[in-house]
Amino acid sequence: MSLPVSQPRVLEFADYQAELSDTADMIVVGSGPGGAVVAKELAELGHDVILLEEGPPFRSKDFTPDAGASMCRLYREAGMRAARGKSMFPTMQAIALGGGSVVNSAIAVRPPDWVFEKWSETSGISLDMRKFSKNFQRVEDFLGIEKTSHDALHERNLLFKKGCDALGISSEPCPRNVKKCKASGECFSGCRAGAKQSTDVSYVPAAIRHGARVYTSVRAEEVVIKNRRATEILGHVVEPFTGKVGYAVRLKARKAIILAAGCMATPQILMRSKGASGPSGHVGQNLQFHPGGALMGIWPHEVNPWVGATQGYHSLEFLKQGYKLEVLWAPASLLVTRFPGFGHQYKKQLERLKHMAPFDGIVAATRSKGSLRLRGKSWDPDLRYELHPEDQKDIHKALISIAEIMWASGAESIIPGIHGMPPEITKDEMHVLVNHKFDINQTTTTCNHAFGTTRMGNDPTKSVVDHSGRCHHLDNLYITDSGVIPMSPAVNPMLSIMALADRASHLIHEATN
């Protein structure tokens, strides 16, 4: 079966009644920030586009704040994916139309210019910042990115501002791709208010308006390569939530295939496709994250932390020192697991939740590296990651900065959640945190920004794609997800991924016309 070009729409799992075959100018794999932008731009430029997504579409009414149900439905490996090393690093990847943009906190911030200078040093690619800035601007304008409005901040976010102001640390409301935020703090389980402008409600509909066909619940598994050209995508329909494999899928590309399945799925597709990985040996290597740590502050007054934008305020003051500070909220059940105590003591801690607020720090971790390998026939990869001791020190520094902001905003105590430290410390005991011999195994370090597994660069022996996202050794296979990012963008990567994808779209258009 295939859809006539005259009837563009979204196909869902129940729509597939036979094997699927179709042909288009461009086939884009993945509907997250990297893929949806390319699909929309190329469709707008007049190309016939098919957009593939392994996950199902979600409507606002499908989301639930229940952490368990959300993890099982929205995240790969039911939210239990982790990279292994000296420590286990939980890392969450979405499986949904819209990809990671459905479950992130919508922070859309530009990296400072020095980041791109570092990218240039690493990759040998000098981005024309005047032109690249326009790519950022186009994405920002399309999504209506604005700084979080005062109405959406509430006490949790304002405490962070208060602490930063008192210490003379620069801070600002987070720029976000959100319209009319209801301040529900439910970003990580999907926006029930429909306020978040994730790609499933922004770029994907725009791509459809320009004629793109969207096939959801389709897993791209192999790229067929003939004479340096990517000609077909082979895959299967997969049942949402169970992953059961259904009808075979065969899609032919007249002009180009663009992989944007995310930096953990794209390398797997390449590794399973004959002749697609190339000779560099770098596919799946150079896996990088932004490891993060958090503290829970306790204030004398009621904070009601569950109210307010999930991550409405941040500080970019310490980016050059290697870390970024943010306000945080997540499903309460996930935040309270590090509370000390058992039984009635534990329940008493929970009763204090209304007085608490978590702040977090993410570190650039430019010295740390990991890798991705296939795990048999499974599409859940084997992830390895080792945190460099210097990056570990940055996490400790970030935690100290967070504590100082908490004290400056009037916190009366902090729950560090760090093994080997007292369960709760006061300002007078700050030296305990400062002098603590911090080790990564003493706390839970999440790694939610993943990139680098198909990095861009000028040297084909040290990178996978060139400046346009084209695989070095092939004429028309492109990658536009976070895998191409050569090193940390220092800030939340979504906007950078989208700007790179916007830039790549126009380069693909030029190359294929």
Partner 1 sequence: MWVGITIILVVWILWQFVFGYPESRVECENLTAREQHLLAKSAEAFFPEGGSLPSAAEAGVVQYLDRMFAQLPKQQKILIRLLFILIEHGPLIFGPLKGRTTRLSQESRIDYFRSWEESSIYFRRLAFLSLRSLVTIGYFSSQSVETALLSEKKS
Kindly write out the interface string for residues 29-68 of this chain, putting x where it contacts partner 1 by CB under 8 A and - elsewhere. Answer: -------------------------------------xxx
Amino acid identity, residue 193? A
Tell me: does residue 245 bind partner 1 (CB under 8 A): no
Range 402-421, binding partner 1 (CB under 8 A): 419
Segment contacting partner 1 by CB under 8 A, of 20-28, 48-56, 80-88, 293-301:
80-88
Tell me: does residue 430 bind partner 1 (CB under 8 A): no
Sequence-ordered alpha helix ranges (H) in 436-486: none
CB nearer to partner 1: give 67 or 511: 67
* Choice from 84, 150, 347, 388 touching partner 1 (CB under 8 A): 347
The tokens describing 324, both together, are: 């970024």
Tell me: does residue 69 bind partner 1 (CB under 8 A): yes
Query: How many chain residues bind partner 1 (CB under 8 A)?
Result: 38
* Choice from 214, 353, 447, 474 touching partner 1 (CB under 8 A): 353
CB nearer to partner 1: give 98 or 331: 331
Tell me: does residue 378 bind partner 1 (CB under 8 A): yes
DSSP state of 94: B
CA dihedral 147, 149, 154, 159 (to 10 degrees): 40
* Choice from 162, 241, 317, 507 touching partner 1 (CB under 8 A): 241
Q: CB-based contacts of 203: which residues, under 8 Å, 6+ apart?
A: 36, 37, 39, 40, 142
Tell me: does residue 78 bind partner 1 (CB under 8 A): yes
CB nearer to partner 1: give 3 or 307: 307
Tell me: does residue 432 bind partner 1 (CB under 8 A): no
Give the integer Cα–Cα distance in Å for 94 and 452.
18
Minimal distance in Å, beta carbon 328 to partner 1? 16
Mind giving me the DSSP string for 217-274? SEEEEEEEEETTEEEEEEEEEE-TTT--EEEEEEEEEEEEEEE-S-TTTHHHHHHTST
CB nearer to partner 1: give 46 or 389: 389
What does the angle CA 252 – CA 258 – CA 264 come to, to the nearest 5 degrees?
Answer: 120
Tell me: does residue 333 bind partner 1 (CB under 8 A): yes
What SS3 state is found at 175? Answer: strand
Q: How far is CA 281 from CA 193, 276, 277, 278, 462, in A?
A: 44, 11, 7, 7, 8
Tell me: does residue 444 bind partner 1 (CB under 8 A): yes
**For residue 116, which of 131, 104, 106 has the smallest C-alpha distance?**
131
Residues that bind partner 1 (CB under 8 A): 66-69, 72-73, 77-78, 80, 87-88, 241, 243, 304, 306-307, 331-334, 336-338, 342-344, 346-348, 350-351, 353-354, 378, 380, 419, 441, 444
